[in-house]
Copies of this chain bind each other. A is one copy, B any other.
């Protein structure tokens, strides 16, 4: 059937989609979500009466891919559904998938051949039936094979990852300069925050450009041994990005996909030794020690199959790490620690993680070397080098001009700090989009506080947002203070 192209002047943000008039669709026995072919491209169809008979509405992605323009004539033919749909159905039924089948699914995701509804079925299958160790390995490899990679000829490349959910916790920005100052390579890609107060990339961005091309990344690493960049721009693991997007509305996070998501990003930069930090706590992402231990085993086994040495450390996840929560506030903590000051908990955790990571790579006297680097100022110098190489950002450490301090209503001991509420309040105050928004925490768990003492200060760049953040604070129990237990 020949149809005239109508540029609908929209993008789908992924899948190749065409819109047909109902009558034309009926002629070809096509229904919504069926496929057609134009040239060699398989395209999902929608049906809409807003498209005239004889026309085909095309989105930006298809127009670009096929170099088509408004009013050109195209020949369309019905096409089969992708065979990966059959495999997705098998997963939904609880069957184990082979390497070939998982490859096919991931290839189709990356090539934009599947609709969001179809992807949801895959996520559902993984969520309900789980993924076996083997399937997780296949999934990780498939994601890596279908994404851009950064390859340097280094014998050893170190990496680390913290499972999210703990406000503050910016150890990466301390561990990386320490390790790099000692001559080891870390090509650190991080995420931006989606639901937390700030991601490592959001915080790093207050100091340096984090949106680097792959070429630029390589040059930064060659110069400084390391980099700290946003993974999103690199098209590493783009299949993974699409899966995460589809998990959002129901906040699903199937374990197998989570593991593949983390490890594929390590594999894509050719990491050889990876330290994974799993904070465990009532308001952390991983809430039980049993689950954390199971997860540890899986990470190690899967890492081995992928040719990566992995060490997993379970850490306390019952409160924020550091004092600052929000990009600028966290960056200030990090720079302080690198200069021998700053919050002790952040400092100590960073030292411990850096030490374990080096030990994993067989470095002797790792702890001494880490402390030397930090105390001598070498790590701080390295941080400045990395910032310079990535492209320095200035004037982004200014805190929000609206702020309000909250004081203790009674004396006692801090029993609990709710991670989720802290994140939410910082977010409502404007973090991470407004770099100067967030929370400065004056206390930690088990601290003694006196009535009237400042517990925390909320910063915002906007008066209303500060108000909203304060309201949420007042309505909920963020910090529990009680008698000595």
Binding site for B on A (CB under 8 A): 8-13, 19, 26-27, 29, 31-33, 46-51, 57, 60, 81, 85, 88-89, 92-94, 115-121, 123-125, 127-129, 194, 245-246, 248-252, 427, 433
Tell me the complex Cα distance, A182–B361, Å.
88
A13 interface neighbour in B48, B89, B124, B125, Cβ under 8 Å = B48
Q: B residues within 8 A CB of A248?
A: 31-33
Residues from chain B with a CB closer than 8 A to the CB of A252 are 89, 92, 121
- Are A29 and B433 closer than 8 Å at their CB atoms? yes
Which residues of B have CB within 8 Å of A51? 10
Give Cα A121–Cα B245 distance, bound, in whole angstroms: 14
Closest chain B residue to A82, Cβ basis: B249
User: How distant is the Cα of A246 from the Cα of B124 in the complex, in angstroms?
Assistant: 14
- In whole angstroms, how far apart are the Cα atoms of A433 and B22 in the complex? 13
* B92 near A127: Cβ-Cβ < 8 Å: yes
- Apart from the given pairs A8-B8, A116-B117, A117-B117, 5 other A-B contacts in the complex at a CB distance below 8 Å: A8-B9, A27-B433, A88-B250, A120-B124, A121-B123
Q: Are B85 and A250 in contact (CB under 8 A)?
A: yes
From B19, B115, B117, B433, contact of A10 by CB (8 A): B19
B194 close to A31 (CB less than 8 A):
yes
- In the complex the two chains form, is A124's CB within 8 Å of B128's CB? yes
Residues of B contacting A251 in the complex (Cβ-Cβ under 8 angstroms): 89
Query: Which of the listed residues A26, A115, A116, A125 has the most CB atoms from chain B within 10 Å of its own CB?
Result: A116
A32 close to B19 (CB less than 8 A): no
Tell me the minimal C-beta distance from A471 to chain B in angstroms.
16
30 contacts between A and B (CB under 8 A): A8-B8, A9-B50, A13-B32, A13-B46, A27-B433, A29-B427, A29-B433, A31-B245, A32-B245, A33-B248, A81-B249, A89-B250, A92-B124, A92-B128, A92-B250, A93-B128, A115-B116, A116-B116, A116-B117, A117-B120, A117-B249, A120-B121, A120-B124, A121-B123, A121-B124, A121-B250, A124-B125, A124-B128, A125-B128, A128-B128
CB closest residue in chain B, given A432: B29
Max chain B CB contacts within 10 Å: which of A10, A32, A94? A10
A60 contacts across to B, CB distance below 8 A = 50
Beta-carbon nearest neighbor of A26 in chain B: B433
Q: Which residue of B lies closest to A57 (CB)?
A: B10
Interface centre among A13, A115, A433 (most CB of B within 10 A): A13
* Contact A246:B117 (CB < 8 A) given known A10-B8, A13-B46, A252-B89: yes
Give the complex CA separation of A124 and B125 in angstroms: 8
Report, nearest first, the 10 A-B pairs whose CB atoms are least far apart: A124-B124, A120-B120, A116-B117, A117-B120, A89-B250, A11-B48, A33-B249, A11-B50, A10-B50, A117-B117
CA distance A251 to B93 in the complex (A): 13
Q: Give bound CA distance, A10 to B12, whole Å.
A: 13
Closest Cβ–Cβ distance, residue A120 to chain B (whole Å): 4
Chain B's nearest CB lies how many Å from the CB of A282? 21
A81: chain B residues at CB < 8 Å are 249
Bound form: Cα–Cα A267–B129 in Å: 36
Which residues of B lie under 8 Å from residue A427 when comparing CB positions?
29
Expressed in whole angstroms, the Cα–Cα distance for A27 and B11 within the complex equals 21
